[in-house]
A and B are shown apart, each in its own frame.
Chain A
Amino acid sequence: MSIWEYANPVKFMRISGAILPWVVAGAAICTVAGLVWGFLTPQDYKQGSTVKIIFLHVPAALMAINIWLMMLVTSLIWLVRRHHVSALAAKAAAPVGAVMTLIALITGAIWGQPMWGTWWEWDPRLTSFLILFLFYLGYMALWGAVENPDSAADLTGVLCLVGSVFALLSRYAVNFWNQGLHQGASLSLAPGERMAAVYRYPLYLTMLGFFLLFLALLLIRTRTEIRRRRLAALLARENLA
């Protein structure tokens, strides 16, 4: 059986309906457990208790980027193979990605206040996330503005491709523009730069939790989109008859 069979709406509904409760349960357990564990970690000698915001900030930032990547992949699948569920999945993921970006921006601002002494710093990483947020807004606005779903899927797919190129370009342009205060990667593989295990393990758990949370929201939203399209198709047929 080919993997593409899951792109069949009927099959997708059946399978996603079956796994959804497990994903929701996993998301709840991992997120809550990770956040509670993270909250109980000792205070950092340099950053004090503010370090704990990392358990929201890093997973949200990670998902913000990965959701855009997932939208890029599903848009490509739609443009190349014309699987309708793929286009709907990209549409369904966008608001989740936008909210994740917003969480990363807000937690970044709250973290920045005690660390850098200002609520907003035009730091390259934060700025890149602000630009990414603008791309999410444009993508969602375009889906909302085009009435014909076939045109909307094609146009947003092309926009996603072009937007990906320019989001990446902006990321490096912003580096050129301002060197920044942001700390290095939280999960660097180089020894020495790595954060202590006491923070690392709860962080892994919240990252898994956020991923499962996204998966659950994605499944729910894609199922809603499929039902909405089904309803629209029935109405269109009735209008034609």
Chain B
Amino acid sequence: MSLLAVRDLAVARGGLRVVEGVSFSLDPGRALVLRGPNGIGKTTLLRTLAGLQPAVAGTVEAAPEAIAYAGHSDGLKPALTVTENLRFWAEIFGGHDIAAVLEAMNLRELAARPAHALSAGQKRRLGLARLMVTGRPVWLLDEPTVSLDRDSVALCAAMLRAHLGRGGAAVIATHIDLGMPEAETLDLGLHRATQARRESRPAGFNEAFG
């Protein structure tokens, strides 16, 4: 049974569809890497999968509350400590054990430090740790390796692998090689939307008046 099934999806940014005809399905233990030039719509596609914006066409099927989204910003409060930040998200998403996550992400010795005192890479790690405490199987990661050094990238890939090993799945938008040869790749450049006239409902003002 697949965790996430996408059929003929089209997404729009600024009232114009950017990507269309995207279909894939993710089984437990599988990862999908989204590739494509800047501005093709990787972030837009991920936000649509997360349910933050409506799809223009096509369907996204997933079990309810199966998807966890991690965008460019980590959702961390500088004034709160690492533990407080993590515990908050754990409680919002239904109370998971944060001690194991701190251990797995190598954050134990930073646990009492306020988030504003973390380096960029440490913040990113905390942001990824937040994904783990949601307890959701499908992770949507938008450029998870930004501002990470090589060791942290390796740690991130190891964490992803562990998640896949537990029967999870992930969709990752990234420019660099994560070192995960087992992941499938979807080149969004092949799904660039054509600006032909359509009979269907327009995606926004720019399409309605184009």
Contact = CB atoms under 8 A, between A and B. Distances in A.
A237 B194 CA distance: 11
A232 B202 contact: no
B201 A229 contact: no
Contacts of B210: 230, 233-234, 236-237
B127 to A, nearest CB: 26
Contacts of B209: 9, 84, 226, 229-230, 232-233
Given A233-B210, A234-B210, A84 B205 contact: yes
A237 to B, nearest CB: 6
Nearest to A229: B209
Interface in B188-210: 195, 201-202, 204-210
Given A233-B210, A234-B210, A240 B16 contact: yes
Contacts of B14: 148, 236
Interface residues of A, number: 17
Given A9-B208, A232-B206, A237-B206, A82 B15 contact: no
Interface residues of B, number: 14
A148 B16 CA distance: 12
Nearest to A228: B209
Contacts of B26: none
B18 interface: yes
A234 B209 CA distance: 8
Contacts of A230: 209-210
Interface string A187-231: 000000000000000000000000000000000000000100110
22 contacts: A9-B209, A84-B202, A84-B205, A84-B208, A149-B15, A150-B15, A150-B204, A226-B209, A229-B205, A229-B209, A232-B209, A233-B16, A233-B206, A233-B207, A233-B209, A233-B210, A236-B15, A236-B16, A236-B210, A240-B18, A240-B195, A241-B195
Given A149-B205, A232-B206, A240-B16, 12 more contacts: A148-B14, A149-B204, A150-B15, A150-B204, A153-B205, A226-B209, A229-B206, A229-B208, A230-B210, A233-B16, A236-B210, A241-B195
Interface of B: 14-16, 18, 195, 201-202, 204-210
